[in-house]
Structure 1
């Protein structure tokens, strides 16, 4: 009963049990832990640069990096969130009061639609415009109710959000300060060959940096450009639409067009040719170029993954993990490709691993 095999089996069982229990404990703070680690990976180069200027003062360098992270990332995001909540409340009130009436906008489009198009829709049993208006009114009403309920949920979960926020900051500080030692501990603990371990960990950190920098840069650029265009053209709730365009821009190729496309169609259908032309120009030649130029440079180039893999892994990750999925999806895809690359290399005659990036 005390043979080495039994002892090793019991030890592995205990190791698996306590690991699962530890993960279970961390699950309520999954988002905070993930973003704490991700931001630490993103800002570690800045921390190392500050540490070279203040050698031996790791605490001060980590605190300075955390302060910079707060100033350029977290505080602006918090300010936008507060403004967004106010905008959502205002738009919801306008929908309920009838000042923002999507059914009337749809009716204006119908009035400007050529009769031959309506006749064509009738042939495919799509010409019941009264039913379409009723559906749009129902969707708008239900949407406002969902937004109101979500706002109430956010208010009720304020305490959990505050706790998670401080957990993220706490973890971010210590992961930046002790990142080197933690990385060495992970490398030593993983039961892989050292070159394989270095390759996988480097791939992990590279993909996280590229995904966050690339997707966030694209989202901020597209949301800002789209929001300014809406504000210039007099569209109500420009900030809300800007945030929605930024969020949807996480979906490569199609994202922001889901918002600006229908608005451009409305402008053209109601005879506002200048506004419609301006919005189409901005959407296709400015917002579109941002997606087609920045995303491959900042995401695909560093991750060394094809664009279609980035697209599918981003969409799939967000479908499973929510907003966290736009980081987790590409990371899982990159590790999948890296693991199979190592497996393929191990079957070669020399058995060498791919070069470490």
Structure 2
């Protein structure tokens, strides 16, 4: 007959073994899903975006599987068509830009008007010309390299999109069960669990809203530059700038930068002004507006929003734009509960 002490030792051994197994499985699971972590999180965010149309369709046909599949297929087709047409235009413009830049005599173009601006300082003129040439060459190579990487990684991008839409399908289909499961898994009282889930939804909604609104504003600002500085086809390039403003890592610079370079052949002064406008204003306005809009809408500290966005981008890629602020906000809620000792009442 085992004694109480022996029973306690066996129980402790079982607990230690269970903890070791759990940690081992947790670590292995993390490394298994790590390559697809961004795609999985992206699928969850996509399901959040598609939840309203999914609910409307499900009310009509009364079938969760068909509704989720139909909405996902519709979104795949829509996104695929947008990417296809945008890629066609971008590849064509990028190739045309590269060929035009190779044929341009930047030194001659700059020498034709810069001495008129600085007639008494030829040394300054030469330094400006050399600086502009080096900048244009570096940025052009960066632009072409970025476009090449996007094309080279096409298969990987397609795989990630497939995983994201696959996750979105099941997240939509099992949305109610998933939320109930999360409430049961979280180790807090119902009130705190509800608070975490509610704030996650609010921050996600504000972040998505802010991203698209800032993208629209950025694209319109680029369009104003196209009109003011006499770019060709300003309306067409404005629409493209708005579209690319919605895409993390790309942004409107992939439009205003090549447009500005091609303008050197016809109007060098306006080309320089457009490029300066793009660098100084268009490319920086999102860093000011995004934290402000998201912070106001979600009632989150703007510094936390900015750090969450930048840190999320570095850690998770494009989906980090949304996940980063959510994680920081939940962490701040946890700190506040700990500071006020409120958490002790609910554990």
What TM-score do the two structures reach when normalised by structure 1? Answer: 0.72
SS in 2 for 1:3: helix
Q: Assess, with a 3 A threshold, how the Cα gap between structure 1 residues 242 and 335 changes in structure 2: closer, same or farther.
A: same
Unaligned ranges ≥5, structure 2: 1-5
1:86 aligned partner: 92
Unaligned ranges ≥5, structure 1: 120-126
SS in 2 for 1:305: coil
| C-alpha separation in 2, matches of 1:316 and 1:151 | 24
CA contact (8 A) 1:296 1:307 kept: yes
1:131 aligned partner: 127
Kindly state the Cα deviation for residue 176 of structure 1 after the two structures are TM-superposed.
0.9
What TM-score do the two structures reach when normalised by structure 2? Answer: 0.74
Q: Which of structure 1's runs of 4+ aligned residues deviate more than 6 A?
A: 247-250, 269-272
Q: Assess, with a 3 A threshold, how the Cα gap between structure 1 residues 79 and 220 changes in structure 2: closer, same or farther.
A: farther
Q: Assess, with a 3 A threshold, how the Cα gap between structure 1 residues 206 and 112 changes in structure 2: closer, same or farther.
A: farther
CA contact (8 A) 2:38 2:316 kept: no
Judge which range, 182-191 or 35-44, deviates more.
182-191
Matched, 1:39 2:38: no
Once superposed, what is the RMSD of the aligned Cα atoms?
4.4
Matched residue pairs, number? 324
2:245 aligned partner: 246
1:346 aligned partner: 341
Judge which range, 308-317 or 173-182, deviates more.
308-317
Q: Assess, with a 3 A threshold, how the Cα gap between structure 1 residues 4 and 75 changes in structure 2: closer, same or farther.
A: farther
Kindly state the Cα deviation for residue 215 of structure 1 after the two structures are TM-superposed.
0.6
Kindly state the Cα deviation for residue 313 of structure 1 after the two structures are TM-superposed.
2.8
Q: Assess, with a 3 A threshold, how the Cα gap between structure 1 residues 63 and 244 changes in structure 2: closer, same or farther.
A: closer
1:332 aligned partner: 327
Matched, 1:62 2:68: yes
Judge which range, 4-13 or 170-179, deviates more.
4-13
Alignment of 1:102-251 (within 5 A): 110-111=114-115, 113=117, 128-224=124-220, 226-227=222-223, 229-230=225-226, 233-234=230-231, 238=237, 242=241, 246=245
1:22 aligned partner: 29
| C-alpha separation in 1, matches of 2:233 and 2:113 | 18
SS in 1 for 2:188: coil
Kindly state the Cα deviation for residue 241 of structure 1 after the two structures are TM-superposed.
8.2
| C-alpha separation in 1, matches of 2:144 and 2:246 | 19
Judge which range, 33-42 or 10-19, deviates more.
10-19
